[in-house]
Amino acid sequence: MDPDSTEFTARLRPRLATSPLWDFALAIYARPGVEQACLTLQDEYGWDVCELLWRCWLYQQGAQAGALPSEVAAWQREVTQPLRRLRRDLKPQAQADSQVASVRSRIKQAELEAEQQCLQMLMKISLNELAFSPIPARLQGLENVLLSSQQRQKKTQLMAIRSVESQLDPLPAAR
List the pLDDT tens digit at each of the 175 positions of the chain. 455 678 888 888 999 999 999 999 999 999 999 999 999 999 998 999 999 999 999 999 888 888 899 999 999 999 999 999 999 999 999 999 999 999 999 999 999 999 999 999 999 999 998 888 888 776 677 887 787 655 667 888 888 988 898 888 765 544 4
Provide the domain count of the chain: 1
In the DSSP assignment, the letter for residue 137 is G
Separation CA 103–CA 125 (nearest Å): 33
173 domain residue, yes or no: no
Q: Which range of residues forms the domain containing residue 102?
A: 3-166
| Exposure letters 136-166 (e unless 16+ CB within 10 A, then b) | eeeeeebbebbeeeeeeeeeebeebbebbbe
Contact partners, residue 11, CB within 8 Å, separation at least 6: 175
pTM of the model: 0.86
25 domain residue, yes or no: yes
Q: How far is CA 13 from the centre of its chain?
A: 18
171 domain residue, yes or no: no
93 domain residue, yes or no: yes
